[in-house]
Each structure stands twice: as C-alpha cells, then as structure tokens.
C-alpha cells in the first residue's frame, strides 16, 4: 500500500500539470466554440489530429526506451545524452522537410494555399518532440513538481496568447486605446482566423523549450552507436504501437470529412463531435496523469516481491476512480454541457460512449505494462495494430451510416476489444491476480446508478431541484458501496499504519 500511496502522490503532482494545466487550457474550448463556427473548429480539430500522429513519429518510442535503459544502465548521463541527441537530430530533419514541402502537403489534405498551417504544425511538433526527453528525465528523477510547473508555464503562455489574439485584439483594433490598439494593429489580422490557435501554440512550445535550457546544458551531443542500436531495437515496436495507438485515438477526426454522410457539412459535424469529445475531459485527464505517474512507478516496482499484488490493487483503484468519474459526469451532464457553445451541444449523446471508451483505454494502459516490464514490447505493436485495423474498419462502416455517433462507438468497441485481448494475452505470459469480478462490478454499479437516474427522470418527470438532490444521493451511493466492499482491507491498512507509528514513537 505504501507503493500505491506514493503512486497516488505522484499522480496528484503530475495531475497538477495535466489537470490544472489542461483545465486552464480547456477553458479555451468555451472561447473557441463561441468565437468559431463548428466548421472552423473542425479545421482546428482535424489539423491537431494530424499533429498527434506526427509527434509519435518524431519521438518513435524513445521516451519509454529512456525509462527502460535508465533503470538498467550504470551511466545514466550517457543514456540521457544519447536519447536527447538522437531525437533532436531526427526532429530537426523532419521539421525542415515539412517546411520545405508545406505547400504540396497542404494541398494533399485539401487546404490549398494554406502551407502556413503545415509550417506552424511542424514547429509545434518539433518543439514538443525535442522537449519530450527532458520532461521524461524529470519524471524519471521524481521531480514531479518541477515537471508540473514547467508544463503549466507553457500552457499559461498558450492561453494568454490565445486570449490576446482571439479576444483582446478584435476589440482593441476597433478602438483607440493607445498601446493596446497599437499592439492589435501590429500583430493582429482578422484574415488569419483560426491560424492564431496554431501561432499561439508555436510561441508557447518554443518558450517551454527555452525554460528547459538546463536540461540541454553540458551536452556533447555525441551518439554511441552500440547503445543507440539497442535503444532503437527496444523502441521500434513501441513506435509501431504508438502510431497504431494514435490511429485509435485520433484517426476518426483525421478522416471524418472524407467519410461523413453529409459531405457539405462534414467540417461542421466534425467540430460538434470534437467539442463534445472535450466533455469527457475529466476521464481523459485522469487517465493521462495516471499514465505519467504509472510508467516509472511500475518499472520501480519490478524488483519487489509483492509487485503483482501491487499491480492488482492499482488496477482496482484505477477502475473505481474512473467509474466514479463516469457517474459524476453523466449525473450532472446538464451543467457540464454548458462548457461548450450552444450550437455544439447537439452531439451530447457521444459523451457516455466516449467516457466508457477512455475507461477501457486506461485499463489497457494498466494491462500493457507487463510487456514493457518483460521487454516483450512487440506485443504492444501487436495489440495496437489489431486496434488500428479494427478502428479503420469500424470507422469506414459506421461513420457513413451514423456520422459522429458511429465514430464514438468505433472508439469504444476498439478500446474494449484491445483491453480484452491484452488481458487474455498478459495472463498467459505474466499472470497478475486481478480482482476481475470486483472491477467489473464497479463499472456496472456506475452504469446502474446512471440508468436509475435517467429512469426516474423520465418516469416521474422530476422538477429541477429534486432531480439534483436525487443525483447527489446516487453519486454518494457509489463511494459508500466501495467502502463497504473494501472495509476490511482499509481497516487492516489503518491498523498496520497505527502500529508502525506507535513503534516509531517508541523508538
């Protein structure tokens, strides 16, 4: 339990950057969905889906390779220097290629004359790829607070620039407010439009790299060919897995306009779908912050005697937390949907499907650690390729018939299938005593409580105040049941800690 407490503490600190930082960043969504039309927001969503794929290509699994070799190699600095040098060299080449071919690339994705979009994306991805290894080093060193502060700094800069360009400048340029008007006239042009989203990101990512300057000091930028070969051999399956995994995560937005049942309104529907996707933010952020903390934690536990019991407990509490998040979001969806503009709320039905999809993805991340710990990383590629193929098939089948609802169900089905396949395979190669029945029960409990809320609302037509009271009661039923089911373990843990504290005071 002490290991789990440490993981929880690190998750909180990493959550400071992801939850607090991204919550700040997600505050841009209400602005975007009130300034931009659904079609304009669809452009932003589509281009960022491409950047997600490219970031995987630019980093090619070297983050996880870094954690693995830092755990095993005596010369830690050598491992870090080779990782950061290799990623920096390859990123520079790829960014220059994207800039050189920006115009034909823009035409290929049906944005002729918008080569500047490609240039901005190349710079964003380049800065993010180069800083990936320094951020991984902070995680490996347990410097969660420094990691969080630097991440938040970049996000705050990005938000500030977005507010400057999209909110302030359109107002100041019409007035005569002295310095502010001069700034607006100098730096703002209404014709750029959604381009300011990318420009703000370029500047913020570049400044974040400057804030990490200490991580680049004293480097010789030398590559050890023998070590590089071993790291690439370890990382290559992760590149395949990461790329295939990104197909599962963002391919729906990348191809939506080519498969949409209504081609004339494809970007509009993509904007609606992407905005509603943001309403699963709490689940997404928890899964992401857990993943930040869990990877180094699981590697650190690998040599301990009770590691498998620890992994099982981590899974159970992860499922409990995700189930509670699902229940909380869906019971209060009428409030949460106000987060996005009114013209985007027609897609609200995708939210429960996407929440459950992210829960399955989080479980898959938990299960996937077995092949990383045993260096059988090829299985990560197998699972992700399986998921990618399934995603592509489902998207081509479901989107033409059901639009963005089909995209949401494709996401859920894929993650659910990957979770099941990973569990069955993992139990054969690296069996862990997961409490499967309990874990499934927690998910079903959250679904039953949500269904009960919907049933009561439809059957009894509860007034607003009564509805909220009923939903609050239903929400608190969940932790009550969890406590009752885990009461013995929690009391035992409390007694052990009490005894340890008593012995400590005596000594």
Instruction: Kindly write down the DSSP assignment for every residue of 46-71, as one continuous string.
Output: HHHHHHHHHHHHHHTTHHHHHHHHHH
Average pLDDT over residues 261-268: 87
Rounded to an integer, what distance in angstroms lies between the CA atom of residue 57 and that of residue 240? Answer: 9
Rounded to an integer, what distance in angstroms lies between the CA atom of residue 63 and that of residue 87? Answer: 10
Report pLDDT for 502: 53
Average pLDDT over residues 367-379: 79
Q: Note the pLDDT tens digit of each residue in 199-248.
A: 999 999 999 999 998 888 888 888 888 888 988 888 887 787 777 778 87
Can you read off the two tokens belonging to residue 178?
Answer: 């002295």
CA 427 to chain centroid, in Å, comes to: 26
DSSP helix/strand/coil, 376: coil
CB 391 within 8 A of CB 408: no
Residue, of 442 and 462, whose pLDDT is higher: 442
Report pLDDT for 439: 92
Residue 339 pLDDT greater than 70, yes or no: yes
Residue 442 pLDDT greater than 90, yes or no: yes
Average pLDDT over residues 112-134: 92
462 Rama class: left (phi>0) / alpha (psi -120 to 50) / beta: beta
CB burial of residue 101 (10 Å; 0-12, 13-18, 19+)? middle
Give the confidence band of 475 by pLDDT, cuts at 50, 70, 90.
very high
Kindly report the backbone phi and psi dihedral angles of residue 457, in degrees, each rounded to the nearest multiple of 5, phi listed first: -65, -45
Residue, of 395 and 297, whose pLDDT is higher: 395
DSSP, res 36: S
Report pLDDT for 9: 58
Which residues are CB-neighbours of 118 under 8 A, at least 6 positions away?
98, 99, 101, 102, 103, 105, 106
CB 145 within 8 A of CB 15: no
Rounded to an integer, what distance in angstroms lies between the CA atom of residue 13 and that of residue 19? Answer: 10
Average pLDDT over residues 79-106: 93
Rounded to an integer, what distance in angstroms lies between the CA atom of residue 102 and that of residue 113? Answer: 10
The 8 Å CB, 24+ separation contacts for 388-395 are 388/243, 388/244, 388/245, 388/247, 388/248, 388/251, 390/414, 390/417, 390/418, 391/247, 391/248, 391/251, 391/252, 392/247, 392/251, 395/251, 395/252, 395/255, 395/259
CB burial of residue 1 (10 Å; 0-12, 13-18, 19+)? middle
Report pLDDT for 413: 95
Give the confidence band of 95 by pLDDT, cuts at 50, 70, 90.
very high
Residue 6 pLDDT greater than 60, yes or no: no
Rounded to an integer, what distance in angstroms lies between the CA atom of residue 169 and that of residue 187? Answer: 8
Report pLDDT for 394: 95
Domain extents in the chain: 2-461
Residue 302 pLDDT greater than 60, yes or no: yes
Can you read off the two tokens belonging to residue 250?
Answer: 């963002």
Rounded to an integer, what distance in angstroms lies between the CA atom of residue 269 and that of residue 260? Answer: 8
CA 494 to chain centroid, in Å, comes to: 34
Residue, of 249 and 95, whose pLDDT is higher: 95
Tokens 């009770």, residue?
A: 306
Average pLDDT over residues 72-93: 87
Rounded to an integer, what distance in angstroms lies between the CA atom of residue 80 and that of residue 134? Answer: 8
Give the chain's radius of gyration (CA, Å): 24
Residues recorded for the chain = 507
Rounded to an integer, what distance in angstroms lies between the CA atom of residue 351 and that of residue 347? Answer: 8
Count of C-beta atoms within a 10 Å radius of residue 196:
18
Can you read off the two tokens belonging to residue 263?
Answer: 């081609």
Average pLDDT over residues 483-506: 61
463 Rama class: left (phi>0) / alpha (psi -120 to 50) / beta: beta
Residue 497 pLDDT greater than 70, yes or no: no
Rounded to an integer, what distance in angstroms lies between the CA atom of residue 146 and that of residue 423? Answer: 35
Give the confidence band of 179 by pLDDT, cuts at 50, 70, 90.
confident
Report pLDDT for 89: 93
Q: How many angstroms separate the Cα of 73 from the Cα of each of 65, 227, 229, 277?
A: 12, 10, 14, 41
**Percent of the chain whose predicted confidence (pLDDT) is above 90:** 35
Kindly report the backbone phi and psi dihedral angles of residue 303, in degrees, each rounded to the nearest multiple of 5, phi listed first: -95, 0
Residue 249 pLDDT greater than 90, yes or no: no
Average pLDDT over residues 6-21: 59
Count of C-beta atoms within a 10 Å radius of residue 245:
25
Distance between start and end Cα atoms, the chain = 23
Rounded to an integer, what distance in angstroms lies between the CA atom of residue 237 and that of residue 456? Answer: 49
Report pLDDT for 408: 94
Q: Which of 18-27, 263-272, 278-287 has the lowest mean pLDDT?
A: 18-27
């Amino acid at each position: 339990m002490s290991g789990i407490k440490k993981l929880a503490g690190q998750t909180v600190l990493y959550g400071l950057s992801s939850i607090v930082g991204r919550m700040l960043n997600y505050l841009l969504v209400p602005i975007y969905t009130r300034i931009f039309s659904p079609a304009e927001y669809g452009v932003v969503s589509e281009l960022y889906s491409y950047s997600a794929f490219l970031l995987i290509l630019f980093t090619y699994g070297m983050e996880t390779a870094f954690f693995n070799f830092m755990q095993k190699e005596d010369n830690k600095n050598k491992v870090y220097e080779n990782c950061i040098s290799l990623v920096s060299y390859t990123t520079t080449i790829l960014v220059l290629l994207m800039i050189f071919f920006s115009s034909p690339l823009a035409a290929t994705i049906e944005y002729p004359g918008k080569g500047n979009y490609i240039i901005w994306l190349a710079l964003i991805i380049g800065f993010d790829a180069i800083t990936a290894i320094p951020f991984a080093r902070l995680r490996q060193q347990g410097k969660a607070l420094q990691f969080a502060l630097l991440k938040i700094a970049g996000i705050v800069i990005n938000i500030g620039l977005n507010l400057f360009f999209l909110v302030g400048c359109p107002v100041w340029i019409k007035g005569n407010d002295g310095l502010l008007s001069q700034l607006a006239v100098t730096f703002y042009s209404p014709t750029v439009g959604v381009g300011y989203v990318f420009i703000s990101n370029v500047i913020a990512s570049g400044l974040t790299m400057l804030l990490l300057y200490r991580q680049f000091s004293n480097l010789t930028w030398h590559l050890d060919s023998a070590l590089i070969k071993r790291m690439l051999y370890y990382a290559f399956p992760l590149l395949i897995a990461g790329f295939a995994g990104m197909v599962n995560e963002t391919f729906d937005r990348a191809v939506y306009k080519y498969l949409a049942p209504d081609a004339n309104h494809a970007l509009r529907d993509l904007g609606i779908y992407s905005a509603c996707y943001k309403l699963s933010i709490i689940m997404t952020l928890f899964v992401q912050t857990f993943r930040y903390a869990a990877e180094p934690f699981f590697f650190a536990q690998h040599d301990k005697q009770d590691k498998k019991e620890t992994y099982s407990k981590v899974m159970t509490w992860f499922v409990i937390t995700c189930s509670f998040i699902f229940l909380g979001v869906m019971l209060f969806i009428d409030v949460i949907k106000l987060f996005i503009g009114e013209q985007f709320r027609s897609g609200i039905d995708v939210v429960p499907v996407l929440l459950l999809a992210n829960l399955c993805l989080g479980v898959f991340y938990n299960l996937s650690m077995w092949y990383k710990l045993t260096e059988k990383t090829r299985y990560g590629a197998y699972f992700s390729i399986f998921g990618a193929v399934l995603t592509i098939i489902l998207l081509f089948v479901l989107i033409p018939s059901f639009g963005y609802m089909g995209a949401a169900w494709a996401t859920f089905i894929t993650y659910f299938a990957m979770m099941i396949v990973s569990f069955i395979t993992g139990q054969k190669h690296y069996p862990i005593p997961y409490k499967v029945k309990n874990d499934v029960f927690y998910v079903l409990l959250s679904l039953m409580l949500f269904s009960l809320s919907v049933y009561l609302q439809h059957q009894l037509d509860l007034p607003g105040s009564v509805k909220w009271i009923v939903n609050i009661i239903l929400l608190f039923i969940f932790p009550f049941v969890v406590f009752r089911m885990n009461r013995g373990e929690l009391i035992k843990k409390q007694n052990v800690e009490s005894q340890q504290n008593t012995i400590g005071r005596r000594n």
